[in-house]
């Protein structure tokens, strides 16, 4: 197994969880098992609390109107 690929996979899994509101998510070390010709890779994931954002307010010395920037935001309202 390529250790760099496993580390990249762990990083991507952690990013997925953080992008879904689990900002304290931690991905454990991979556990690798083999069954016949197949290898299985498992990661222990500690999610932590899930955070949600209801609204986003922009303020300060904006170079454009706040509405201009709000249109660029992608807020998933689950």
pLDDT tens string 28-71: 999 999 999 999 999 999 999 999 877 777 777 877 778 887 77
69's tokens: 């920037």
Does the pTM surpass 0.75? The reply is: no
Closest CA to 25 of 8, 58, 49: 49
- Confidence class for position 8, pLDDT limits 50, 70, 90: very high
43 Cβ contact list (under 8 Å, min separation 6): 9, 10, 13, 27, 28, 29, 30, 31
């Amino acid at each position: 197994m390529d250790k760099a690929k496993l580390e990249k996979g762990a990083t991507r899994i952690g990013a997925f969880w953080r992008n879904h509101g689990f900002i304290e998510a931690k991905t454990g070390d991979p556990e690798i098992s083999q069954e016949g010709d197949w290898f299985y890779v498992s990661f222990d994931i500690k999610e932590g609390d899930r955070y949600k954002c209801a609204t986003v307010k922009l303020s300060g010395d904006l170079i454009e109107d706040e509405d201009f920037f709000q249109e660029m935001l992608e807020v998933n309202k689950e």
